Amino acid sequence: MSAATGAFDLLQRWLASIAALQGASEKTIEAYQRDVAGFIGFQSNHFGGDFGKTKLGQLKITDMRAWMASERRRGVGPRSLARELSAVKSFFRWLGEAEGIEVTAPLATRAPKFKPQLPRPMASDQAKSMINTVEFQTMDGWTGARDTAVITLLYGCGLRISEALGLNRDAAPLGETLRIRGKGDKDRIVPVLPAARRAIDEYLQVCPYPLDAEHPLFIGKRGKRLNPRHIQKVMEQTRMQLGLPATATPHAMRHSFATHLLEAGGDLRAIQELLGHASLSTTQAYTALDQAHLMEVYKKAHPKGA
């Protein structure tokens, strides 16, 4: 039995509680378990003995810094380390409430500073070129129509690739709106552009497989749900053909949707709802991006400044 069993038992209780009470997704639970288990493993070795509830309540700032320094030596970047620390703090907040232990030092630990990474959208003409060209990356006409339909949905509705490929056949024919099950199993309603409806209809007309309502909408050559890696691969091929940067990924289509809406005068709150962001601060990254774009245009027009 591991010397850190006591702490790991508490970790499992915490994960069970957030799964039951907060409805956290399976991927979120896995990320929390990975990050906090790594922290517990380090502290167990750091203390060199039993590591359970008592030791968790005795952690000092120096112990937290020792863990963070170890992570940096392992090559963990500041952004990833800040994410790990956030998971650890969430665990300790629960410990303070559920177990009544002292959690001042962990919660007072400061995250490493890093420059927020802005979304990297594509220009509107680049996004359109991607949609118009991606069908030529496959030999079968129906798979080209399928890939076009997927990418049109990513750009036209601002979907995550997992959301688009998670749709079932009963979602089509698309109406004026589409109900999407997003992160945390939260539903949202997104408007559907005529171009997206047409792309889906054209794909279904040539798809060689009969699709029942409960079957996946987008399928691979063997009739199974389409793997996200395929869309990533055909976009890689297409961007090389078009001379687009490596940032032209499936997620960039979603970024482009949000950025182009904002540039057209879209309301930030409305864009937040369309993207399914839990926090407005996440959507506000597009405001910073828009400002950065305006400054770049200004610099090109006035290279010597005002």
Residue 77 phi/psi, 5-degree rounding, is -75, 165
286 catalytically annotated: yes
72 catalytically annotated: no
Task: Select which of 32, 155, 203, 286 is catalytic.
Answer: 286
Instruction: Give the integer Cα–Cα distance in Å for 263 and 188.
Output: 23
269 catalytically annotated: no
Those residues whose C-beta lies under 8 Å from the C-beta of residue 15, and which sit 6 or more positions away, are: 29, 32, 33
Minimal CA–CA distance to 39: which of 55, 27, 17? 55
Do the bridges between strand 187-191 and strand 177-181 make them parallel or antiparallel, or are there none, so unpaired?
antiparallel
46 catalytically annotated: no
Task: Select which of 55, 160, 197, 239 is catalytic.
Answer: 160
277 catalytically annotated: yes
229 catalytically annotated: no
Those residues whose C-beta lies under 8 Å from the C-beta of residue 97, and which sit 6 or more positions away, are: none
Minimal CA–CA distance to 57: which of 108, 13, 8, 103? 103
Mapped onto helix, strand or coil, the DSSP state of residue 211 is coil
Task: Select which of 215, 221, 251, 293 is catalytic.
Answer: 251
Task: Select which of 89, 197, 239, 254 is catalytic.
Answer: 254
Look-up of token digits 């702490």: 7
E-state strands within 164-291:
177-181, 187-191
Minimal CA–CA distance to 205: which of 153, 115, 267, 144? 144
Instruction: Give the integer Cα–Cα distance in Å for 211 and 214.
Output: 8
Task: Select which of 183, 198, 215, 225 is catalytic.
Answer: 183
Those residues whose C-beta lies under 8 Å from the C-beta of residue 252, and which sit 6 or more positions away, are: 119, 120, 121, 122
Torsion-angle region of 218 (φ positive above 0: left; ψ -120 to 50: alpha; else: beta): beta
- The DSSP bridge partners found for residue 178 are 190
Active-site amino acid positions: 160, 183, 251, 254, 277, 286
